Structure 1
Amino acid sequence: MSYVFAPAPVVAVPVVGSSEKFAVRRIYCVGRNYAAHAREMGHDPDREPPFFFGKPADAVVYVAPGETGNFPYPSQSRNVHFEMELVAAIGKAGKDIVVDRALDHVYGYALGLDMTRRDPQAEAKKLGRPWDTAKGFDHSAPLGPIHPVATAGHIDKGAIWLTVNSEEKQRSDVADLIWSIPETVAYLSSLFELQPGDLIFTGTPEGVGAVAKGDVMIGGVDGLGEFSVRVV
């Protein structure tokens, strides 16, 4: 088969303990999934149904363990925020998945940053417009390697944190998710048929804030180690 131009390369990230890579299909993100973060964003943290937004697969910036990845500060923005998240990687297709079987569809977990252009997001909220330019821009999803469930187990508790220039900005516990990972997977599968390669950014704790060029963010989750990202 011939194409007008060469197809884009597959976006893929390494799998810990394997020579194989995890090919990324879609990125789904859960909004306001920690109560304290919902409050700091001016919302009631009562357990309403989760909502989701997306990022393109090529927003991924792979960050290798022990190295510092680069996050290019986006143009036409003056207020870009970090949001540290636990990412669930889907390895088995499913639609209308029941909560009790949802973890069967999770292949592994990774560290992720949902970088957010807060200025266009605020404007979009005011005008009732989509968040695409605020969330789905280039390089907006720094991501560590995938830790398979087979070796790392399922993560339903443990600290999640982020520092900027060695100053702690975010700290919470995965157990504090408003919607747990199995609940999130089940609900999302009622809206979209999940497929292997899908990533779910599960939400960020309180303490989000702005970054500037030269800042170094170091984030981690118990059981997954840390990763480092520099704003350039």
Structure 2
Amino acid sequence: MTARKERLRELAEASSACDRARIDASLFRALYGLPADMQLELARVTIARFLPIFLTHYPDVTWVVPLVEDPEAYYREHEQGMPLWPEMLLCADASFDFALCALLRAWSYVDKNELPRVTPACCTAVIWAIGARATNAWHADEPEVRAAFVRRDRGAFAGLTEDDNAAGRAVKQREWLLVVDWLEAHAADDYPELDEAGRAERDRWFEWWMDRECLL
């Protein structure tokens, strides 16, 4: 079994358990060293799965459609700029917003030929896009939590996440397994293994990302 195939196996196991720490590590190690365009497309298709939901919440915010459909063209015209969002995004939509920011940040790294930074940005985009799907399911299943968020009653949902809700957890598991399926379908495990220097560089960037709590 190749090292990348082992990472995908670990990602599938961690996804089934909703083990965020193992998901982060196995995703990063599976993606690092893959072609940038493959990493970017994985981030894009993961984000795209939330787009129809977002448009039911905000049907007039149509500028997100070309961004998701062709982020490279969007970046060439706007770089990392995005129009103002509605005054208050729902929690899941705020996660979608951050995923889009991460995707554009990844394109900026490609533009500047800072390819090692593409992996943390794409991982962040994938994580937040999946979080958006899971949070949306959680709030649909527990409308009182969504209502508390809308009225900004943080005490009503303090310490709770989508993993505390069966619907949110099930969606998160499904979305992560779809990531594994996508990588396997695109033969990610056929790409060359990293040499010793490459593994050391990957681990340094992983620690950099961890130090920022998987943010940018």
Tell me the TM-score normalized by structure 1: 0.27
Q: Which structure shows the bigger proportion of residues in strand conformation?
A: 1
- The structure that is helix-richer by fraction is 2
- TM score, norm. by length of structure 2: 0.29
Taking CA–CA contacts closer than 8 Å with sequence separation of 6 or more, which of the two structures ends up with the larger relative contact order?
1
